[in-house]
């Protein structure tokens, strides 16, 4: 049952990130295999990095090709429908926000399950959440969202932190999962809507 909820969130994150990959491909007017490549890289990238660093090899999609097939399916679907949304960039940003909060939580959870401690779980949640988007943007030749000036990494961190802290404080597993997701997503959503950002470093002598 617990497994069930985390698995559902994980699949949902995969589909959401795969969609952002396909949308980036559409913005670059790629062919259908470019769509498939970016959808797959965005969808499985974060979880793949997590599995490699934890030593859970072969990585998750080697035993379950369904993950690859879903990414390719999303790419094929988007190739014919990506013109429908009014602004694909806006859609990328919002779906990426959902995937970011989802993968931060599920990435932290899988890290805890592997036996690592809470600090590592939070760090791995952040990496799982951000890495798929980073390689999507690099392969697509876009400026990585992670460099955007609004709150981004912080939202992933908050999601993972709330989840791990929630478990430690005795929340049930599903409540901790959902709390972490909501916290991270709401923060990122607020940043997207109102352009929230944290105080930035200001160079006092101008940066050289």
Residues forming the site for its own copies (CB under 8 A): 25-37, 40, 48, 52-55, 57-59, 61-63, 65, 68-69, 79, 82-83, 86-90, 114, 116-117, 119-120, 123, 126, 134, 138-139, 141, 143-144, 146-147, 151, 153-154, 157, 197-205, 207-208
Nearer to its own copies, 169 or 200 (CB): 200
d(CA 26, CA 7): 29
- CB 108 within 8 Å of CB 180: yes
d(CA 85, CA 83): 6
- CB count, 10 Å around CB of 157? 20
> Which residues, 6+ apart, have CB-to-CB distance to 190 below 8 Å?
151, 196
Nearer to its own copies, 9 or 30 (CB): 30
- CB 56 within 8 Å of CB 114: yes
32-42: b (≥16 Cβ within 10 Å) or e: eebbbbbbbbb
* Two tokens, residue 180: 């972490």
What is the number of residues in the chain?
208
Nearer to its own copies, 117 or 195 (CB): 117
Please, what is the minimum distance in Å from the beta carbon of residue 80 to its own copies? 9
| φ, ψ (nearest 5 deg) of residue 196 | -55, 140
Nearer to its own copies, 78 or 177 (CB): 78
Nearer to its own copies, 45 or 178 (CB): 45
């Amino acid at each position: 049952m617990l497994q069930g909820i985390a698995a559902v969130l994980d699949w949902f994150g995969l589909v959401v990130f795969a969609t952002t990959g396909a949308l980036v491909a559409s913005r670059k007017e790629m062919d259908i295999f470019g769509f498939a490549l970016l959808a797959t890289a965005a969808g499985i990238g974060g979880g793949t990095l997590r599995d490699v660093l934890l030593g859970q090899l072969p990585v998750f999609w080697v035993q379950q090709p369904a993950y690859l097939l879903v990414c390719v399916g999303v790419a094929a679907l988007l190739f014919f429908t990506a013109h429908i949304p009014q602004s694909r960039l806006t859609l990328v940003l919002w779906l990426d926000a959902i995937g970011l909060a989802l993968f931060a939580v599920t990435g932290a959870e899988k890290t805890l399950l592997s036996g690592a401690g809470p600090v590592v779980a939070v760090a791995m949640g952040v990496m799982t959440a951000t890495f798929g988007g980073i390689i999507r943007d690099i392969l697509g030749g876009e400026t990585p969202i992670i460099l955007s000036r609004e709150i981004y990494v912080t939202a992933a961190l908050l999601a993972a932190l709330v989840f791990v802290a929630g478990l430690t404080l005795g929340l049930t597993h599903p409540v901790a999962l959902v709390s972490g997701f909501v916290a991270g997503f709401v923060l990122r959503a607020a940043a997207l809507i109102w352009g929230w950002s944290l105080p930035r470093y200001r160079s006092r002598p101008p940066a050289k």
